[in-house]
Amino acid sequence: MRILVTGGAGFIGSALVRQLMNHTDHEVLVYDKLTYAGVLSSLEPVVSNPRYSFVRADITDPEAVAQALTDFKPQIIAHLAAESHVDRSIDGPGEFVQTNVVGTYVMLQQALGYYRSLDDQAKAAFRFHHISTDEVFGSLGDEGLFTETTAYDPRSPYSASKASSDHLVRAWGHTYGLPILVTNCSNNYGPYHFPEKLIPLIIIRALNGEPLPVYGDGTNVRDWLFVDDHARALQAVFERGTPGETYNVGGNAERKNIEVVRAICAVLDRERPRADGSPYADQITHVVDRPGHDRRYAIDASKIRRELEWEPTKTFEEGIGLTVRWYLDNQEWWQTIVANSYATERLGKAHARD
């Protein structure tokens, strides 16, 4: 198959592309604007593969999207391009509306025009797959899980923009008959994760001997999924999922933020003990909470397990060990980012009510 991956230079997109290059015969076109979050070196392992190609372009540019569709003629559009960091959405929500809402609208309109130009056989094979987040469902109390039918209740500019794009995608399915798929996934982690996100941020700051900032009391809960398991889920959905359906994807690995930070410190204590022999956990410091910080997210992934026989292959303990070791072994990848585009400073406080 030919698969157009928007946002393929990002964290999850690049994991998907590396997987498709290494484990399938599919052809891939990465369509990416290369914002601060687009990191071409994450695609370095696949650049010489003849089944891989790249175009630098913006999803909000209708002509550029139309051109890529006409030239590449994809069977699958895996739409991952987005602004993805909640803290940045607090400081600058406009970019999130533009990229996530308007950009998805442009992708849908262009995909529909392209879809209508296909013959019946090609139409039957075509899928527009929107990659979304569990954050659209809002915040849970101590009990319960998000299912595919949980009502939407987004609370941050990021999750509101993703909820909007999910609604647009379903509307293009219902109204125009575009064969769409939606996946809502929990928090990902793993290699090539941009240093602004909790897990790489903590690893990098720990190695630099800096304070490890934990928002509030550290008891907010997220369900963590190793990124390669997410990439396998995406492939299962666009290859075998039923058009019009939504699939929740999760790791069944709920952890409090403070537990995540302590788990990273424990791996580092073993793998790269501090020179003074004291534990990395001594660097933990609690900082003022994120405004509107959702309490708990947790996913019921039984539908994708049952219907597509997907399940995570890594426990959180295995995944966090692999991830910490990857950051130890690939310092050049993240040191370039820290030196040039993001120096691990605090984001997302600009409009805090307190």
Positions in the binding site for ligand NAD (CB under 6 A): 6-7, 9-13, 32-35, 37-38, 58-60, 80-82, 84, 99, 103, 131-133, 162, 185, 187-188, 194
* Active-site choice (32, 87, 135, 294): 135
Residue nearest to ligand NAD (CB): 10
Residue closer to ligand NAD, measured from CB, 27 or 32: 32
Residue closer to ligand NAD, measured from CB, 98 or 315: 98
Nearest approach in angstroms of CB 58 to ligand NAD is: 4
* Active-site choice (27, 134, 229, 254): 134
Nearest approach in angstroms of CB 125 to ligand NAD is: 24
Beta strands in 34-75 (DSSP E): 52-56
Residue closer to ligand NAD, measured from CB, 237 or 283: 237
Nearest approach in angstroms of CB 90 to ligand NAD is: 15
283 close to 206: Cβ distance less than 8 angstroms: yes
Residue closer to ligand NAD, measured from CB, 154 or 280: 154
Six-digit token string for 300: 């019921």
Nearest approach in angstroms of CB 279 to ligand NAD is: 28
Burial of 322 (0-12, 13-18, 19+ CB in 10 A): middle
Residue closer to ligand NAD, measured from CB, 24 or 98: 98
Residue closer to ligand NAD, measured from CB, 9 or 280: 9
176 close to 112: Cβ distance less than 8 angstroms: yes
Q: Is 91 a catalytic residue?
A: no
Q: Is 294 a catalytic residue?
A: no
Nearest approach in angstroms of CB 158 to ligand NAD is: 8
Nearest approach in angstroms of CB 30 to ligand NAD is: 9
Helix (H, G, I), strand (E, B) or coil at 163: helix
* Active-site choice (52, 158, 247, 280): 158
Q: Is 134 a catalytic residue?
A: yes
Between helix 11-23 and helix 227-240 the angle, nearest 10°, is: 70
Place of tokens 């982690």: 189
Nearest approach in angstroms of CB 282 to ligand NAD is: 28
Cβ atoms within 10 Å of 50's Cβ, excluding its own: 6
Secondary structure (DSSP) of 319-343:
HHHHHHHHHHH-HHHHHHHHHHT--
Residue closer to ligand NAD, measured from CB, 91 or 269: 91
Q: Would you name the residues annotated as active-site residues?
A: 134-135, 158
